[in-house]
Amino acid sequence: MEQIGVILLAGLTNGSVYGLVGLSISLIYGTNRVINFAQGEFVMLGVMSAILFMVTLHLPTWAAIGAILIVAILAALVLELGVYQPLMRRGAAPLTIMIGTLAAAIIASGIALLIWGPLQLAVPNVFSLQALNLGPLVTNAQQLAIIGVFAGLLLVTWYLMYRTPFGLCIRATGVNARVASLMGIRADRVVRFGFIFSALVSGIVGILIGPLLGGQVGMGVTLTVKGFMAAILGGLGSPFAAAAGGVMIAVVEALVAGYGSSLYAEPIIFSLILAMLFFRPYGLLGDFEAGRR
């Protein structure tokens, strides 16, 4: 019983990370029908910026967090203004724009490699890493903060999407941007908000997971893949379905690793996703969320 508790806690922690990356990917897709393959690089920039501001420049924690979020916003604007908007003005197909975001991810990773090098670096912790006993489980404040932030950001996203006028504009743009523009909605600003909000979420994820995973410039690719898997499993286009998909993927990973071998985790997960797509092409929760929209 104690082992299953440890496994589920690890799955929930990793699932919070995958879920937030999937939520970010799905939020952008919901506004412009483009998958951002650079989403994991926002997390990587958050992790590596923490090293820059906390270790190299010795900024106080609160100032470093603010600076990291500013970096995330600037990265989102560079991607939106430098890649997305120019391609959109030229009438590029969504697939072409997706390749553009992938190119941006490779460029960002290359620049980070020149700055920080290929080695894994230690990242200062925001919360305590001292062992904390919760009944039979052993965890720490940093791990609990990841789960708490995951729940908090889900609540913020839900309130924004379904309890504010701007959320209605976001959903209308996601359904049909051209019609939304004819109704007076600034679809371009909605899309820009999607990039900025998703980058902020990913920057926060980077601040929280850095001390646990360490900082490495190649980590963005893995997180993009995990987030994309979460969005596909839960339902692409729904941030909440994608978040649920991230938790499901991480729990399966933890169970396979705990009772078997982690080498089999990804083949099993991809097999489950493929089997699920035969019966529910919109994802486990995608059709429910589509009806709700």
CA–CA separation, 74 and 80 (whole Å): 10
Q: Can you give the length of the chain in residues?
A: 293
Per-residue pLDDT of the chain (293 residues; tens, 9 = 90+): 567 888 888 889 999 999 999 999 999 998 888 999 999 999 999 999 999 999 999 999 999 999 999 999 999 999 999 999 999 999 889 899 999 999 999 999 999 999 999 999 999 988 888 888 777 777 889 999 999 999 999 999 999 999 999 999 998 888 888 888 888 889 899 999 999 999 999 999 999 999 988 899 999 999 999 999 999 998 887 889 999 999 999 999 998 888 878 788 888 888 988 888 888 887 887 654 444 44
CATH of the domain at 157: 1.10.3470
Cβ atoms within 10 Å, residue 9: 18
Q: CA–CA separation, 111 vs 52, rounded Å?
A: 14
CA atoms within 13 A on the CB side of 226: 27
Alpha carbons within 13 A on the beta-carbon side of 104: 26
- Domain of residue 197: give its range: 2-292
Number of H helices, E strands in the chain: 13, 2
Per the structure, the count of domains in the chain is 1
